[in-house]
Chains A and B, each alone.
Chain A
Amino acid sequence: MTKGPILAAFLFLATAALIVSGTVWPVPSAAAYAGGVSFSSSPSSPEAAANNLGVQIRARAWDKAYESLANKAQFSEQEFIHDLTGNYPSLRTDATLDKFEVFPLRADRNEAEVRMKLYWSTVVGISASTRDVRMVKDGDRWEAEWPIEKEPSVPPQVIPVNYLRWDVIYRGPGDDWGAQDVEAPHVRIIDMHPVERADGVVILGELLNEDVVPAYVSVTATLLSKSQSPIATEGSFDKISHLLLPKQVTPFFILFPDASLAEVGSVRMTPFSTLVAASADPVIEVDGEKLNPAPNASLTGQLINQSGRVVNVAHVLGTFYDKSGQVVWVADQYVDRALLPQSPVPFNIHIPEDLAKTVSSQRTVVASYSVGGTA
């Protein structure tokens, strides 16, 4: 009975000691997350300086990160922040730096170059960006020369747009039960191909809006066993362009984790479509698309917003075909920068190495979203 107060006092003292210890001698990474704390590791090497910069960016300690740069005279702190978070609302605006990696590229006594790979945590997942940073030695300290990428400024101008938009009026609650409602858009799966991968079965395909009105679409697939009993049902989620204008085609990708094609007798596909208010703009050009072979097989190119309105989020979907025109893979990438009118923004879609050899052609579509309305 008498041990209780002693234990309580011990716990109280231990907690107090840990709090004091953590405050006086904080762990550097914890201090970085907390913000406003100097770093214990002196940037006595290019990697250490790059690490410090990464930690400051992760803590969104913009002023400290900016102050640590060797070339800060070339741009303002605001331009540095905009380089990292964007001038216009985009996926990057509210993203945090999840982690970063530093790879030394070259080094000599007073100068070095490192590659910083920044993994941004966005609302749609991790978005990686790479910067090659020149490091210079100033006395006994290394400092980064940040390779600023200034967002292009669009000259003031008026861009005439023939604004085309669809709105939908559905039947009202007072209408006779036999009265017509607006017809759902007619969509058709024009290609479907199941593929076995290491992480399960993947259903790849393409969906066409064959109607004259825009459609909000999604696709659901059900794997059926050889006895026609359902094994699993999955949807395309965001691996599809949900808004299809008339005669537009989107790829879709449905993953069944841990499923095996040997157990599958057939696949039941259920396309869904409903009318949606939509705009025909913006038009986004996919320029300079290039299939890059393995290693690091990818589809690269750049997006050019041909409209006058800023596109805040662009989702690029690539459909990859073999020589016979069969869909062999579907992959996507969210572009975390806003698309300014007429300003190219690069994209890079990874292609699995084992499939890269079979890819003969590709088709790219872009789904876009603008703040303040459906794009």
Chain B
Amino acid sequence: MKRWSSLLCAVLFFASWHGVDAQESTGEFPKSIEAGHGFSVRLGGSGPATLYILGTGQVLKREVQLGDTTYFAPGSLYNAGHYLAVVVGASTNTTNEFDIEPSSSPAELSFLARPSRLPVGLHDGITGAVYLFDRYQNLVTAQTAVQFALTGPSGSVQTHQAMARDGAASIAMDSSAQQGADKFMAQADGVSSLRVIRQVPGEPCGLKMSASPSGGKLHLVTEPVRDCNGNAVPDGTIVTFTESFHDGESTVDVPLKRGVAEVQIPSHPGATISVASGVVLGNQIRWER
């Protein structure tokens, strides 16, 4: 760490001390290089010198022979950004500036799909955001077409295309009418990323129960509880039965099991029994027996 700091200070010292020389840069470095690509430069002059390259998160030091061509192997410089090259020799001190550009095609997609669970039939309920990265984790800034495909459990597919700008593309899509696990895929230049969106039933619809005597009690059972799209409301959903009689009330919260909620409660002649789930009300029964 101390060594790198010393090196950095020395380079910056030379760069500032020979500011006039920097203006007289010979311009032998290419103006831009793709991240991770190999390249070569021919440095003017003669004799031995030291080449310093400083950039975003990278510093290189190389002993070079001025007048010869210096080769940089693929992968030498891979962080996209603006770089400074300083040549310090016995008779010359020059600086060059160049850019390392991200690759134009993505090697990896970071795909944020939200939410991971939502009710069916929601307009623009699903959002997907894609960030394109090259193999060195540089954000790919070139305009790139990104295809989004949402495949429902029945095989129905919604597709959309969006152009990625500055490395990001996003889309909003509707959840389908059928519950189940949807596959949400983003694809760009042959690279894809898959997320799973669970579409769950909406509010219960047409909640209905029936009552029958059972011993000295009253057996209440709902019909299979479904949402307005016909999807079965999942087990565990709470259904509240309320029995109101002349001087009191009985309530019980029952979870759906195997699609129905059922319970036995005390029987009170003349009682009114109602059923609800969350904010949805079902039918009412007046028990006369």
Contacts and interface: CB of A to CB of B under 8 A. Distances in A.
Interface string B76-95: 00000000000000000000
Interface string B229-248: 00001111111000000011
Given A208-B279, A210-B278, A365-B253, A280 B236 contact: yes
A246 B252 contact: no
The bracket for how many chain A residues form the interface is: 35 or more
Contacts of A181: 116
B110 A176 contact: yes
Contacts of B236: 164, 166, 212, 214, 245-246, 280
A285 B265 contact: yes
A166 B247 CA distance: 38
A147 interface: no
B252 A288 contact: no
Given A178-B111, A212-B200, A214-B236, A190 B279 contact: yes
A365 B253 CA distance: 8
Contact of A286 (B195, B204, B238, B250): B250
A306 B261 CA distance: 14
Nearest to A301: B248
A182 interface: yes
A66 B75 CA distance: 88
A246 B251 CA distance: 17
A162 B236 CA distance: 11
A177 B108 CA distance: 13
A2 interface: no
Listed residue (A208, A245, A285) with the most chain B CB atoms within 10 angstroms of its CB: A285
Contacts of B257: 162, 164, 280
Given A166-B236, A245-B236, A284 B279 contact: no
B278 A208 contact: yes
A330 to B, nearest CB: 16
B52 interface: no
Interface string B23-51: 00000000000000000000000000000
Contacts of A190: 279
B250 A212 contact: no
Given A208-B279, A212-B200, A247 B251 contact: no
A204 interface: no
Interface string B243-271: 00001111111110110000111100000
Nearest to B111: A178
A164 B252 contact: no
A280 B256 CA distance: 9
Contacts of A306: 252, 263-264
A209 B255 CA distance: 13
Contacts of A178: 110-112, 131, 193
Interface string A270-290: 000000000011011111111
A306 B266 CA distance: 12
- Output the residue of A210, A246, A306 with the most chain B CB within 10 A: A246
A45 B43 CA distance: 115
B277 interface: yes
B209 interface: no
B127 to A, nearest CB: 12
Contacts of B203: 210
A364 B248 CA distance: 12
A283 B263 CA distance: 9
B111 to A, nearest CB: 6
B263 A287 contact: no
Given A180-B113, A246-B237, A290 B248 contact: yes
A133 interface: no
Interface string A315-345: 0000000000000000000000000000000
B235 A164 contact: yes
A183 interface: yes
Contacts of B19: none
B228 interface: no
A223 to B, nearest CB: 27
A212 B255 CA distance: 11
Nearest to B129: A178
B67 to A, nearest CB: 48
A249 interface: yes
B118 to A, nearest CB: 8
A281 to B, nearest CB: 8
Interface in B128-187: 131
Contacts of A364: 251
B253 A283 contact: yes
Contacts of B247: 290
A284 B241 CA distance: 12
Nearest to B179: A212
B201 interface: yes
Interface in A146-192: 162, 164, 166, 176-178, 180-183, 190
B255 A283 contact: yes
Nearest to B234: A212
A289 B278 contact: no
A212 B234 CA distance: 7
Nearest to A210: B278
A212 B201 contact: yes
Interface in A347-375: 362-366
Contacts of B238: 245-248
Contacts of B116: 180-183
B253 A287 contact: no
Contact of B115 (A183, A212, A365): A183
Contacts of A77: none
18 contacts: A164-B255, A178-B110, A178-B111, A178-B112, A180-B196, A212-B201, A212-B234, A245-B253, A247-B204, A249-B279, A281-B255, A283-B255, A285-B252, A285-B265, A286-B251, A289-B251, A365-B253, A366-B253
The 6 A-B residue pairs with the shortest CB-CB distance in the complex, in nearest-first order: A247-B278, A178-B110, A280-B255, A285-B252, A248-B238, A246-B237
Interface of A: 162, 164, 166, 176-178, 180-183, 190, 208-214, 245-249, 280-281, 283-290, 301, 306, 362-366
